């Protein structure tokens, strides 16, 4: 009888992506919160549960589903806590009016829900990427709030699923469409949604990320 994988044998992101074992993927997903919090990233620890546990519920509960201006700002802040910090993006997000954000996100989510094929997803991105400072990666977070079949376009998932793409195409609409397709197909194999696939990969990638406190300590000792 197969034994459970020992904690010391936890799969890294590339190895997890290569696996079609539901047990491997479920183990990574179950460890998501613990590994995330172990990074000692205050903003990530605070905003990540808000994004997945509260924002998704609030957005989907509205009739029709949409996002508020304040939520967009917080979501951009969350996105940066998951990757590179670009202060200008937050300033752009803060400049958008309530009506503009609600109209754009309402239209995007409606288009997503009427999209019958993965190839139709660019139409759902259009209303949101028209907002200044919002590219496909940020727009993917808007769509992910509304539907678990859409993964957030995170660096770790792009790296394992699409490979080492040039920066000019890494965050393009075409890359997002491909990312949705492969995440959905992987999800069907391992019994997860595309959103859960993204979180499982992030969880696995956390094993190779340095906790903030450890990084700060290392810098201090070099002085």
Task: Look at residue 160 and tell me if it is in a domain.
Answer: yes
Task: Look at residue 1 and tell me if it is in a domain.
Answer: no
pTM of the model: 0.89
DSSP calls for 25-57: HHHHHHTHHHHHHTT--HHHHHHHHIIIIIIHH
Task: Look at residue 116 and tell me if it is in a domain.
Answer: yes
Task: Look at residue 173 and tell me if it is in a domain.
Answer: yes
4-17 b/e (C-beta count within 10 Å ≥ 16 → b): eeeeeebbebeebb
Task: Look at residue 175 and tell me if it is in a domain.
Answer: yes
Looking at the chain, list the stretches that DSSP marks H as alpha helix, in order from N- to C-terminal side. 13-18, 22-30, 32-37, 42-49, 56-61, 69-81, 87-95, 98-114, 121-129, 136-146, 155-162, 167-170, 173-190, 194-206, 212-221
Quick one: pLDDT at residue 3?
A: 41
Q: Which domain holds residue 151?
A: 7-221
Q: Kindly list the averaged pLDDT for each block of 10 residues, start to end, along the chain of length 223.
A: 51 97 98 97 97 98 98 97 89 98 98 89 95 96 97 96 81 93 98 99 96 55 37
Task: Look at residue 2 and tell me if it is in a domain.
Answer: no
Task: Look at residue 128 and tell me if it is in a domain.
Answer: yes
Quick one: pLDDT at residue 68?
A: 99
Total domains, the chain: 1
DSSP calls for 136-166: HHHHHHHHHHH-TTS----HHHHHHHH-S--
């Amino acid at each position: 009888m197969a034994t459970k994988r020992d904690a010391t044998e936890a799969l890294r992101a590339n190895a997890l992506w290569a696996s079609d074992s539901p047990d491997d993927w479920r183990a990574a997903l179950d460890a998501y919160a613990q590994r995330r919090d172990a990074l000692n990233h205050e903003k990530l620890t605070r905003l990540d549960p808000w994004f997945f546990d509260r924002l998704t519920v609030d957005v989907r509960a509205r009739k029709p589903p949409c996002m508020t201006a304040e939520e967009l700002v917080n979501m951009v802040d969350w996105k940066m806590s998951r990757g590179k910090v670009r202060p200008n993006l937050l300033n752009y997000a803060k400049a958008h009016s309530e009506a503009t954000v609600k109209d754009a996100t309402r239209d995007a989510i409606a288009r997503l829900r009427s999209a019958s094929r993965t190839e139709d997803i660019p139409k759902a991105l259009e209303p949101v990427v028209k907002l200044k400072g919002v590219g496909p990666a940020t727009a993917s977070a808007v769509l992910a709030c509304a539907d678990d079949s859409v993964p957030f376009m995170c660096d770790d998932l792009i790296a394992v699923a699409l490979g080492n793409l040039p920066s000019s195409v890494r965050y393009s609409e075409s890359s997002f469409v491909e990312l949705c397709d492969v995440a959905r197909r992987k999800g069907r194999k391992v019994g997860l949604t595309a959103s859960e696939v993204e979180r499982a990969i992030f969880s696995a990638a956390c094993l190779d990320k340095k906790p903030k406190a450890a990084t700060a300590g290392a810098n201090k000792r070099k002085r």
